Chains A and B, each alone.
Chain A
Amino acid sequence: MKKQDIIIALWLIFAIALISSCSKSEDNNSQSPPTTTVKAVTIYDLPADTGKKGIFTLFSLKDSTIVSNSDSLTTKWDIGFAGTTIITNSGVRGPGQGGAILLKDVDFNSVKEAPETGYRIENSLKDLAIPTGSGNGWYNYDPQTHIVSPIPGRVIIIRTADGKYAKLQIISYWKGNPQPIDPYQHKERYYTFKYVYQPDGSRKFE
């Protein structure tokens, strides 16, 4: 128990340190405060269990911030990242109304509306809302080069902890989004992703 506490504490320090280092940008002209208009956000190099301890980096889509792991049993977070696994705040993972649909063979910009039904939740630790495994979810894994790369045409529709909708696309799994990736030189488990969050509770992304 005690050991676990220390790990969590260390993780918190680490996570807080990272919030400051983790840059964020807003694509739209964001002079006007976020009101009912949706915004496209890109998050760079979000660490996802870089220590390989199985601890998720929890993230709030509304605030574009990392949420402390001590809040894992709250609805403060919407999605979590650890390695190639992405979870939603639902089912066995959290108390929220989260869920997800993986869309295939679409362009991010052309997704104008979130589907009404068909959301999957975290049914168990192995039956996830967003499927894992090469080719099943958001990524391909090349066993020859050990490169994990996002599959073009895959968009994840997220239902947030409080029942709002967002569309999300993974851009890179490697620190600094390097091109081309050298798995021996570059660091994996760093997410760069973009998303559009609809704060008004509707399913529209425009």
Chain B
Amino acid sequence: MKKILFYTINFLICLTIWLKAENPTFISFQVTDEAGKPLHGCKISVRNTSKIFFTDKFGKASVKLNSSQSHQISFEKAFYNPFDTTIFVNKDIDTFFILVRLKEKDIHSREVVITATRTEKDLVALPIPMTTLSQFDFKQINAKTLDQALMELTDINIVDDHGRGIQLQGLDPDYTLILINGEPLVKRTGGILDISRLSVGNASRIEIVRGPNSSIYGSNALAGVVNIITSEPENETEISLFSKYGSYNSLDLIGELKKSLISDILAFTLFAHRSKTDGFSLIPNSVGKTVPEITNYNLQGEVFYNPTRKSRLRIAFRGNFENEINSYLANKDTISSNNDVGEISSFLNFKNILNDRFNYEFRAYFSTFTTNTQDRFVKTKELYDAYKFSQDVLKLELQTNYAFSLNNYMTLGGGFITEQAKSLRIAGGKESNRQFFIYLQDDIKLIERLNVIGSLRFDNHSDYASQVSPKISLSYQLNKNIVLRSSVGTGFQAPDFEELYLDWTNPMAGYSVFGRTYAAEGLKKLQQQGQIATILISPDTIGKLEPEKSLSFDFGGNFSIDELFLKINFFRNNIQNLIDFLPIAIKTNGQRLHTYQNINKIYTQGVEFSLEYSFLKNFHLNISYQFLQTGDLDVIEKIKNRKIFKRDANGNDVPVNISDYGGLFHRPEHSGNIRLTYRSQDLGLFSSFRVNVKSKYGYKDINGNMILDDPREFAPGYAIFRWNISKELFKYFVLNFGVDNLFDRKDARFLAANPGRTFYFSIDFKYIKN
């Protein structure tokens, strides 16, 4: 006997086939979209039994359920409207086949993101402003390192200051947290994390959260978070090889293997990226190079194990090693400098779905970072200067997620971090600290169109005052085309090891700098040695060093119509407690002893804007733009009180006018990108033309008042043009040719890290076995 039942409710279509009955009943599902295309990974929960399972790539899944009973079943899949239904399983029925068609959500979601809330969220309706870059975006333009991807694809300003860093919303690179698969890279002490050494060769996605996110990530997530998400095995075997050769003898070699050993259960990935450049010099006959000779390795290996369909274990090892060689002059002797930096990290991540309401994730992370610099006289090979620093980080964290309903999702997490640093410049040569944290987030849909996310994190640290970081953000879906969003949040940046424990005397000038925690003890030591002439401020009278803190506000939205997609975000960040030097004593050699204090207050505000438009079938236009204003609030106060002077061309000193104040250094008012791409799938042809623009920006003080207020203190604006073309060949290959800095823009003073026109050629090979 065959009986078919067909019903439609809210785009759910059930196709039921009765077969001969026996207890319990075997129920199979198939989930498709409206067009009948199977949906992979749809979550099916049988609420009264706490059973959860997912559809396979044919959109199919099955389960045994007790008959003569009704079951509440829900279907959830990102970008689709979730659906709940109740079925009654008749005991006469043996096999129950249910076909479900889910309707796509009205607001056209493009992708799911994870970084903003640490849970999977639709990007478009997300209340927190974000930008994502897909593998497709950065592969097509041959961006293999994080700086290339961000510089050429977003409005984010990339700055060169002892390494390449991200200036998000006008804030210093230190204030942006950089993650790989959700785990932080070790924060560089006394320098910035150079993002040109971070490979994105194995990334499947880069997510950028704009605005503070300390309410779930803690320290450093003050300006935003950049998360590199590495790709996972999807096929039985996938091999990718890439090589790129370009000007200045620069060579990139990338290899990646992704293999599934037992389908859906056990898989692994291996990745290696070696990059080498001879560097270049923009100043003829100079001893040192503007950009030194660098060899850099990024290595990663990862194992994926799914013991059941509801749990997943990931274990990863990552290494980043680099060697930099340069030379410079010191008192007419040439010194050769050799710097080695290495970071080795291991991750363990276990995710488990206990039932349809509750799941948890355990994360363990250990990383060790070392930097070692040796400067030697070229002639005698004798040591001139050496610096060694190492830091270990161990982090354990548990995150739990609980769904009160489909519209109320709560996250509670907590963990422990311990760090240890070793350096000759640190008091006692070695220091360690501990930290506990707990965070809570609630993601509620108050009404269908209004999403509110509130989060709160508490950090307790052994060396600075405890921090409470709240944030609240909301989005409102005005209609099919418009989503509005706004958030208010706080961020903080913990003092680093040097600011806490530094014990260093400049061998040339003779001044000393002590970290704040060490200052009292260090001063006592110098007093005993008779090195102190006068104490200016007793370190006992000044309290603990506070983290730098921010309060930020943003407002914006998305607008989409047909092939046009616009995104706009207005932001304002107020930062206080900025850490700066504080002289506390005068030494007998007449030099000063400094420690650190919280002093300045700054602000940044502006607009981030992006536009995507597709036209003439094969063309795609992207424009991203940032307008930025910044300033030091203390400086503004002093200018208003006529306390800051400048010397004019006639040598007269006049008070600085507030209209002359140019804000913080290294912040262009206008910056952005225009990218025009052509892509033909039929021809296997791709070409992209890109312009990276920056308006003039403050370079350094010239007139002696330490602020930006003189036209001579600005570096000129510039535009860098890039072009590349690539062609698919013989199914497995892509050949690519490109030119960077098309019009040969060079400036040894202001654009030192930018070479002139460079050419490159690359070959991509990809083999996939399903």
Chain A residues packing against B (C-beta within 8 Å): 85, 104-109, 126-127, 132-133, 139-140, 142-143, 145, 149-155, 169, 171, 179-180, 184, 194
Contacts and interface: CB of A to CB of B under 8 A. Distances in A.
B590 A152 contact: no
A153 B655 contact: yes
Closest 10 CB pairs of A and B: A153-B645, A149-B704, A152-B645, A126-B533, A152-B647, A107-B653, A152-B653, A153-B653, A152-B646, A152-B705
Contacts of B647: 152
B653 A127 contact: no
B606 to A, nearest CB: 26
Given A108-B652, A133-B583, A179-B702, A85 B590 contact: yes
A150 B643 CA distance: 15
Interface string B653-683: 1110000000000000000000000000000
A109 B652 CA distance: 7
B653 A126 contact: no
B585 to A, nearest CB: 10
Contacts of B516: none
Contacts of B485: none
Contacts of A150: 704
A184 B330 CA distance: 10
Nearest to A105: B643
B651 interface: yes
Contacts of B703: 149, 152
Given A126-B590, A149-B701, A107 B534 contact: no
A194 B651 contact: yes
A105 B705 CA distance: 11
17 contacts: A105-B642, A105-B643, A105-B644, A105-B655, A106-B653, A108-B651, A109-B652, A126-B586, A126-B590, A132-B586, A139-B704, A140-B706, A145-B700, A150-B704, A151-B645, A179-B712, A180-B712
Nearest to B329: A184
A154 B703 CA distance: 13
Contacts of B581: 143
A142 B701 contact: yes
B586 A180 contact: no
Q: For the complex, would chain A's binding face be called helix, strand, loop or mixed by DSSP majority?
A: loop
Contacts of B588: 126
Contacts of B259: none
A179 B643 CA distance: 24
Given A105-B643, A105-B655, A126-B590, A180 B534 contact: no
A127 to B, nearest CB: 7
A94 B702 CA distance: 36
B651 A151 contact: no
A181 to B, nearest CB: 8
Q: How big is the B interface, by class?
A: 20 to 34
Residue among B590, B652, B654, B705 with most chain A CB within 10 A: B590
Given A109-B652, A152-B704, 10 more contacts: A105-B655, A108-B652, A126-B590, A132-B590, A133-B586, A140-B705, A142-B701, A143-B581, A152-B647, A155-B653
Nearest to A83: B590
B700 A151 contact: no
A13 to B, nearest CB: 24
A105 B701 contact: no
B590 A140 contact: no
Residue among A127, A139, A153, A180 with most chain B CB within 10 A: A153
B705 A126 contact: no
B602 to A, nearest CB: 17
A154 B712 CA distance: 21
B208 to A, nearest CB: 28
A178 to B, nearest CB: 11
Contacts of A104: 643
B592 interface: yes
B326 to A, nearest CB: 15
Nearest to A169: B653
A106 to B, nearest CB: 7
Contacts of A143: 581
A132 B589 CA distance: 13
Contacts of B705: 140, 151-153
A153 B654 CA distance: 7
A180 B700 CA distance: 10
Contacts of B651: 108, 171, 194
B704 A108 contact: no
Contacts of B700: 142, 145, 180
Contact of B654 (A107, A126, A154, A184): A107
A107 to B, nearest CB: 4
A134 to B, nearest CB: 8
B652 A127 contact: no
A79 to B, nearest CB: 18
B180 to A, nearest CB: 30
Contact of A151 (B583, B590, B704): B704
Contacts of A169: 653
B646 A126 contact: no
Nearest to B586: A126
Interface string B583-621: 100101010100000000000000000000000000000
Contacts of A145: 700
Contacts of B712: 179-180
B653 A108 contact: yes
Contacts of A139: 704
Interface in B695-728: 700-706, 712
A30 B150 CA distance: 64
Contacts of B644: 105, 152-153
Residue among B581, B590, B704 with most chain A CB within 10 A: B704
Nearest to A138: B704
A109 B648 CA distance: 13
A92 to B, nearest CB: 13
Residue among B586, B592, B645 with most chain A CB within 10 A: B645
Contacts of A184: 329
B150 to A, nearest CB: 25
Contacts of B329: 184
B592 A133 contact: yes
Nearest to A136: B583
